[in-house]
Homo-oligomer: A and B are copies of this chain.
Amino acid sequence: MKVGIIGVTGNAGAELARYLLKHPEFELAEVSGRSEAGKKLADVFPYLHQYDLTIEPEIGSADLFFSALPHKSSAEICGPLVKRGKKVVDLSADFRLSDRAVYEQTYEVTHPHPEMLETAVYGLPELRRPEVAQTRLVGNPGCYPTAAILALAPAICAGIASPKVIIDAKSGVSGAGRTPTMATNYIEINENTHAYSVAGHRHEPEIVQELDRLRPRGLKPIDTTFIPHLVPMTRGILANCYTPAIQHTSQAQVDELYREFYRDKPFVEVVNRPPETKWTYGNNMVYVMPHFHERSGNLVLMAVEDNLGKGAAGQAIQNANLMCGFPENLGLDTGAVYP
């Protein structure tokens, strides 16, 4: 099946091209990217020398598209493609939030295609596999939400966790995109760690939306305190989630709960030692460690991922596989590059 990447020159776009190098069913047939239009993909990214593709200003002939454009621009391009019958996985935020008002308040733009929000599916297959398999339009989750939701979902769903959750997340820098900024300059990041967006990060409404869908009847709405950090690495997210246990529980029960929840989920491994971001370097895995901190009665729920893998391009291909009826892990079962 022919696929295209819209916005191939960003981090997520280029990572999609890397994954597609060895996908047995998807053939990367066209790529677009305005800033580098007219150049060969292999000239812009010499490590992708295997491709003989020219970056086009616009594309539209493939059967399925991945869009790695910024929000709003993405919906403007994806909307018409879906209407023409194409399948689309949109890696921007445009089709993640089902409530238009929340989207418009969070991103401070008018949604170009609010009429499509209803049919779009939030593409976190571990929670929404059947819906993903039925849709033509997936809003691919944000990097932080993927980790945070997968860390919290089993405990919220089972009703053992308080809805008041603290999420302290640490991210590598590639999540901030490929455009140079002072904040992502080497000399500012190296040997440095700090929080940012403490007053509210755009990914927070996704986390609330998805966890609220899971909470048992009677549980109060999810209330997050989400503090993201930049740590000096290129790839990787570690989300640590803290929430009081609201039922009597034990480490053994929590382990069992998590293992059961993620049984038959090929990309989530439940582990019993603190997971390391590098275990996922370059692939689509998530490692989750649920920890019951007995003295305080808190649950400490950790998840790691590659922010460009399960946090972006890997998950996009996982969604595309499901949308096309392929095995979920087709072309994705690669080892992490460790160390």
A48 touches B335 (CB 8 A): yes
User: How many whole Å from A163's CB to the nearest CB in chain B?
Assistant: 11
Flag whether A62 is at the interface (Cβ < 8 A).
no
Interface residue ranges, A against B (CB under 8 Å): 11, 14, 17-19, 21-22, 45-50, 164, 166, 168, 170, 172-174, 178, 180-182, 184-196, 198, 200, 223-225, 227, 229, 231-236, 238, 240, 242, 269, 271, 273-282, 285, 287, 291, 293, 295-296, 298, 300, 302, 304, 333-339
Instruction: A173 to B186: give the CA distance in the assembly, Å.
Output: 7
- Assembly stoichiometry (copies): 4
Which of B164, B180, B198, B235 is the one whose CB lies under 8 Å from A185? Answer: B180
A47 touches B280 (CB 8 A): yes
Given contacts A282-B282, A298-B166, contact A287 B46 (CB under 8 A): yes
A187 touches B173 (CB 8 A): yes
Given contacts A193-B236, A274-B198, contact A231 B181 (CB under 8 A): no
Instruction: A334 to B273: give the CA distance in the assembly, Å.
Output: 30
Instruction: A22 to B74: give the CA distance in the assembly, Å.
Output: 34
Residues of chain B with a CB closer than 8 A to A338's CB: 14, 18, 45, 47
